[in-house]
Structure 1
Amino acid sequence: MRHAAYEGHRPGHHAPPDAPLSAEGRAQIHRALPLPEGITAIVTSPLLRARQTADLLSELTGIPVIDTTPLLAEWHAPSIVIGRTSETYPPEYRAWREQRAANPSLACGDGESPTDLYARANRCVDRLLRIAESQGRAVLAVSHKVLLGVLVRLAEGPGAFDASIRAAWPFAELSPMLPYLHDFNVGWTCRAPGVG
């Protein structure tokens, strides 16, 4: 599940890590209920908007939050774009955007390269599978658009980064992680009612 809407959201905006949920975000979580049957645990990103989403889901459903992991954190955008939108991106970030598809191991400044994000997504899947197997049931992962986009396109390799940037993933929407995860009873298809 993508976290719910946060304070100060603007399309194309690189949110600061401490952006809290908005009133609309809390309403989105209520509209996302009920969750699919069989979820026994919630795992979340450590970023505030994701933790608040997971905590409210836990409060409303009684499903415990059992893990907070940086593996589920959003793509680490370079600090030069945090709080900015596309019309105010600096030239070095614009140049990186032009080069990243041809060279996915290239990072912009202190940001995470598509290759590094892909490697983290693989480690995240391993962790989620271990948690799901220990629970014996489905686990809900609360995370962020770009990382979730890479997780559902893992077979595409580092190139999944560009597809996940372009893809729509509305706030508080659920989607299956990977098709093969159905074998482990941790994937499902569910469009949250009233969202997107």
Structure 2
Amino acid sequence: MVDIWLMRHGAYEGHRPGHHAPFDATLTSQGRDQIRHSLPLPDGTEAIVTSPLPRARQTAELIADLTQLPIIATSALLAEWRAPSIVLNHSPDTYPSAYLEWRERRLSQPSLRCGDGESLTDLHTRAGHCVEFLQRTAHAHGNLLAVSHKLLLGVVTRREEGPAAFINAATEQWPFAERRPLRTPVAPQRDGATR
């Protein structure tokens, strides 16, 4: 079996519970310390893949520097849920009415988008593609560490719940720099056989 480990990035500049992170947020010194304390990685980890967002990319780069493991891919499949830009830098008590209306309808209409945001169906579909990407990459390179973001990781680990996985992922605790195994078994390919 090939193992895939999912890791949330470290703490980032401007983090405030209940706020959607800006896409360009970078790691703090606390975040870098969290990453250092998350080591060592599980035995046999051979490569790293990462989200392209700065806080995840910086997490992966620091791990690569400290472990000498290669970063073999940066994929938008691992990026965080794309919140609508109208909620960035807003707290729940200042969310615009359009976003609040979307939130009321998002479970009954999971394909509905709010502005330039990603729908729950979009996110769930991407999470499925993300798992396929991780499995293919693990087949080719061995045990992987995938660095990503709380909501995306939560949906990846709850794919069987469908688009509504978003709600549980949003409330689930996944501390910065914590690793969890992806519970989808990946059997190694032998002699060029396809699965």
For 1:118, give the aligned amino acid.
H
CA distance in 2, matches of 1:101, 1:9: 27
Write out aligned runs for 1:1-196 (5 A). Answer: 1-135=7-141, 137-177=142-182, 179-181=183-185, 183-184=186-187
CA displacement at 1:84 relative to structure 2: 1.8
For 1:56, give the aligned amino acid.
L
Is the partner of 1:35 in helix, strand or coil? Answer: coil
The answer (yes or no) to whether the contact 1:152–1:176 under 8 Å persists in 2 is no
Q: How many residues align?
A: 182
TM-score, scaled relative to structure 1: 0.90
- Tell me which structure has the larger Cα radius of gyration: 2
**Deviation readout 1:12-56 (Å, 9 max, x if unpaired):** 111111111001000000110111111101000000000000000
- Over the residues paired in the alignment, what is the CA RMSD in angstroms? 1.0
CA distance in 2, matches of 1:60, 1:161: 33
2:192 is matched with none
Aligned-residue identity in percent: 58
Consecutive unaligned residues in structure 1, runs of 5 or more: 186-196
Greater RCO, 1 or 2 (C-alpha within 8 Å, sep 6+): 2
CA displacement at 1:180 relative to structure 2: 2.6
CA distance in 1, matches of 2:112, 2:99: 12
CA distance in 1, matches of 2:114, 2:176: 27
Consecutive unaligned residues in structure 2, runs of 5 or more: 1-6, 189-195
Deviating 4+ runs (over 2 angstroms): none
For 1:91, give the aligned amino acid.
S
